[in-house]
Amino acid sequence: MNPKPHPFTLRQLQYVVALADVLNFREAAERCYVSQPSLSAQLAQIERALGVRLFERDKRRVILTPAGRAFVRQARLILREADALVEIAHRFGDPFSATLHIGVIPTISPYLLPKLTPVLREAYPRLSIRWIEEKTTAILRDLHAGHLDAGLLSLETEVGDVDAEVIARDPFMLVLPRTHPLAATTDALQTEKLAGVTVFVLQEEHCFGEQARTLCAKTNAHIDAFRATSLTTLVQIVANGEGVTLIPAIAVAHEVTDPQLCVRAFAEPAPARTIALVWRKSYPFDAALREIADTMRRAYPRPVLDREPLASATGAGSE
């Protein structure tokens, strides 16, 4: 059904509110930068269209009618919202002065956002980024529904038909007790060394957990029945001497702080995930997102690939 046209314009609402503010035709006309006869004609037109008098006027004064008072209250709200629409258009005319809503998966957000946030703030001082931490499926759902502008996630998960800019390759690292046989060498490990080893992994709904289970299946590793909800839990379990676990390289500096643990890298071709910024193909400001992705890429912290002894290394630097 076609919407009915309104019996007034926004400009006419401005005339009504201006006259309600000053109750003087000459002053209202000056405020609206029109002639007094033009303003009077427009007000008469809107009253005829509405079928109600908004103002009482004679040679001495102008006053609002009861209908006029109610009309002006609502007109002010409409004009305020119209101003907000214009502001939105202006801001999105310059995407770097807008607010972006970006989803980020839990196995990236605590390790990467502290590095990215100050860099992005300095590079784009007028840009506001609201980060929403969610699992991949929720990010993709909200992205395609238009609730998110972009998502920061792993491309190894099925992400569908989206545009993407790769931020970094994030290798898998093995975290294990120093007493474990695989800790005896600091050389990069062949993935086949995981055969028969008990590995703790994240729950199925985490994309990193799915990737870790796939690696375990290829190498005949034993996946423990326990399913953790966070990388922190996985590392704590291993610190108690229970098996080994896999975590992304970007998480090592934050998660592996127990001196009873060590970290081992895998030999190439090492298992890894690809961190990328993704967005809808129809997104109107893809050039801006590509520039932001390039800033993220340059700010990405250099991962700690091996630490021996662990206690002497405190974290990763930035390239």
Lowest mean pLDDT: which of 11-20, 46-55, 153-162, 212-221?
212-221
Residues 25-34 have pLDDT tens digits of: 999 999 999 9
Per-residue burial over 115-140, b = 16 or more CB atoms within 10 Å of its CB, e = otherwise:
bbeeebeebbeebebeeeebbbebbb
Instruction: Please give the mean pLDDT across all residues of the chain.
Output: 87
Q: Which CATH topology does 10-93 take?
A: Arc Repressor Mutant, subunit A (1.10.10)
Specify the fold of 169-272+305-311.
D-Maltodextrin-Binding Protein; domain 2 (3.40.190)
The whole-number pLDDT of residue 31 equals 93
Q: How far is CA 169 from CA 9, 166, 174, in A?
A: 55, 8, 16
Q: Which fold has domain 95-167+275-299?
A: D-Maltodextrin-Binding Protein; domain 2 (3.40.190)
Q: Which two tokens stand for residue 78?
A: 């409409």
In the chain, where the domains are located: 10-93, 95-167+275-299, 169-272+305-311
- Kindly state the percentage of the chain with pLDDT values over 90: 55
Which pLDDT value is given to residue 185? 83
Q: What pLDDT shows up at residue 222?
A: 83
Per-residue pLDDT of 277-296, as tens digits, reads: 999 998 888 999 999 999 99
On the question of a common fold for 10-93 and 169-272+305-311, the answer reads no
**Predicted model pTM:** 0.69
